[in-house]
Structure 1
Amino acid sequence: MPAPGALVLLRHGQSVLNAQNRFTGLLDPPLSAAGEGEAAAAGALLAAATFFPDAVYTSTLSRTHQTARIVLDVLDLPGCPALPVVPAWELNERSYGSLTGKLREELLSELGPEVFRFWRRSFYGAPPPMPSGQLAAIRHSRAFAGLPPEAVLATESLCGVVKRVRNFWHQHLRRRLREGEDVLVIGHGNSLRALCFVLDRLSHAEVEELNLPTGQPLVYRFTPDLAPMVRGGEYLNPLAARTAAALVAAAGGT
């Protein structure tokens, strides 16, 4: 049996709504110019680490597809110019319900820090559902065409994201890693926090405090039984990742 492959988690580059400090959730904005730069820098880090994936998974949202395309262009995979990128709705961002599209600073002022943090960061808390018209528009958008109803919820807790991401881990990622394949997963702040929760067996308190910055590759290597060799993984650029994560935390978290 081959040694397990490596898993790289990468939060997509900054989107135009990230740049405006809005709750993006299931909305489908493109990358900002800064986000495109972050994706290219992530590709350069992966190339320097000689990480050339055998499989790439993204969410169904444009900002992860764009990030994947830029990363793979930078990697210029030898002998494999058409590596398939597999979209998976289980890796989509959390539904932020009625917060979707709204400015974080305005909601913080309106709700107060306690309610704001509970809806945004707690394991079980979920904001009020988004209006039915907004939900219908998202369900009929290109990013969600043909997906099951559970892929587009009116609101969602982090606990709900963990459930779908855990299923994805068991159904797809474990098999590839056991077969010795190196896998790149490009997701979102909350879907990747959920995956870290599963991989590292985090407590609720630990995952509530976890902040994953955009554009910073996080590498997991595994023992034969697929336990992480380093709990929490290792960033390819630790200093830049710590600095960026601190900025995410200062803005109120992922």
Structure 2
Amino acid sequence: MGKLILLRHGQSVYNLQNIFTGWTDVALSEKGIAEAQKAGQILKAHNLLPDLCFTSWLKRAIHTAQLALRELDWEQIDCIKSWKLNERHYGAWQQRNKDEVKEEVGEERFIAIRRGYDTPPPPLPDGDPRLPENDPKFRLIDPSHLPRSESLKDTRRRTLNYFYEAIAPQLARDKTVLVSAHGNSLRALTMAIEQLSPEEIVKVEIPTGQPILYRFDETLEMLEKKVLS
């Protein structure tokens, strides 16, 4: 029976400041560090020892995995990183205060973009220093594959591509897999696993630092979901 543990990173310094983060690579806040450590304690209490770990390329997710595994005293496992597990790219809204953006564009458009399924924020323009192609981390990735802005639908496409390519085969081998990632990349996985509609996923919020456990049968049909505490 394959087991999948989804873990949204702990609170980041941008979460604390109410700023759109997206692909901006910011650290965990003090609260976020504590949340990651608590997640490890929760996994230990449930005797969940992952065989393998996956994270994004963003340090708030990487550090969350490291802190949780340290609490679990289970740091020897491989941790595979992929940019396809990155947070949704918030385009021109990245590094901007959420309240200021809402005031600028109006609540209706703000909600349609932030909580909707297929409406992206305004894209980053040519020459913007926030473009992923300007980040050395992405220097080996074809710029045409890197987003300038994403809807949840766009995020789901790349996240699911990676899930079926790299993570699902491990679950099919009855492995226990930890995925430490982000609110929207994990919402994308949740949408697919639970077969939620675009209308249903709008209402789903993934809590920071709280492990979610899925169990699958041999065909990768979901058997059980538990929010662990």
Question: How far off its partner does 1:150 sit?
Answer: 5.0
Question: How far apart, CA to CA, are the structure 2 residues paired with 1:206 and 1:124?
Answer: 13
Aligned to 2:70: 73
In structure 2, the partner of 1:28 is 25
- Name the SS for the 2:11 alignment partner: coil
- CA separation of 1:151 and 1:27: change in aligned 2, threshold 3 A: farther
Give, in whole Å, the separation in 1 of the partners of 2:6 and 2:103: 33
Go from structure 1 to structure 2 and tell me whether the alpha carbon gap of 1:136 and 1:156 turns closer, same or farther (over 3 Å shift). same
Report the Cα distance in structure 2 between the residues aligned to 1:84 and 1:133, rounded to whole angstroms. 37
**Residue 116 of structure 1 corresponds to which residue in structure 2?**
110
Q: Which amino acid aligns with 2:101?
A: L
1:176 corresponds in structure 2 to 170
Report how far residue 8 of structure 1 moved: 0.3
Partner of 1:235: 227
Q: Which amino acid aligns with 2:182?
A: H
Partner of 2:157: 163
Change (3 A) 1:187 1:76: same
Separation in 1 of the partners of 2:131 and 2:198? 33
AA matched with 1:191: S
Question: d(CA) in 2 for partners of 1:147 and 1:114?
Answer: 35
User: Structure 1's 105 and 18: CA in aligned 2 closer, same or farther, altered over 3 A?
Assistant: same
In structure 1, what is the Cα distance between the partners aligned to 2:130 and 2:93?
16
1:54-93 alignment runs, 5 A limit: 54-77=51-74, 81-93=75-87
Sequence identity (%) = 38
Secondary structure of the residue that 1:133 maps to in structure 2?
Answer: coil
Asked if the contact 2:132–2:147 (Cα under 8 Å) also holds between the matched residues in 1, the reply is: no
Larger CA deviation: 180-189 vs 150-159: 150-159
Alpha carbons of 1:137 and 1:109: their partners in 2 closer, same or farther (altered >3 Å)?
closer
Displacement after TM superposition at 1:89 (Å): 1.1
1:211 match: secondary structure: coil
Deviations along 1:73-131, one digit per CA (max 9) or x if unpaired, are 11112xxx432211011100111111111111111122211100111111110111123
Q: Please give the alpha-carbon distance, in whole angstroms, between the structure 2 residues aligned to 1:109 and 1:130.
A: 20
In structure 2, the partner of 1:204 is: 198
Which residue number in structure 2 is paired with residue 40 of structure 1?
37
Q: Deviations over 1:118-157 (max 9, x none)?
A: 1111111011112333356542324434233255311111
Task: Say which SS state the counterpart of residue 130 (structure 1) adopts.
Answer: coil
**Matched residue, 1:14:** 11
In 1: Cα distance, 2:135 partner to 2:187 partner: 25
Amino acid at match of 2:72: L
Written as runs of structure 1 = structure 2, the 5 A alignment for 1:219-234 is 219-230=213-224, 233-234=225-226
Contact 1:62 1:143 in 2 (8 A): no
Q: Which amino acid aligns with 1:27?
A: T
CA offset at residue 198 of structure 1? 1.0
Unaligned runs of 5+ in 2: none
Contact in 2 for aligned 1:100/1:130 (Cα 8 Å): no
Corresponding residue SS for 1:8:
strand
Name the SS for the 1:185 alignment partner. strand
Counterpart position of 2:95: 101
Question: Does the alignment pair 1:153 with 2:150?
Answer: no
State the shift of 1:195 in Å: 0.4
Say which structure is richer in strand: 2
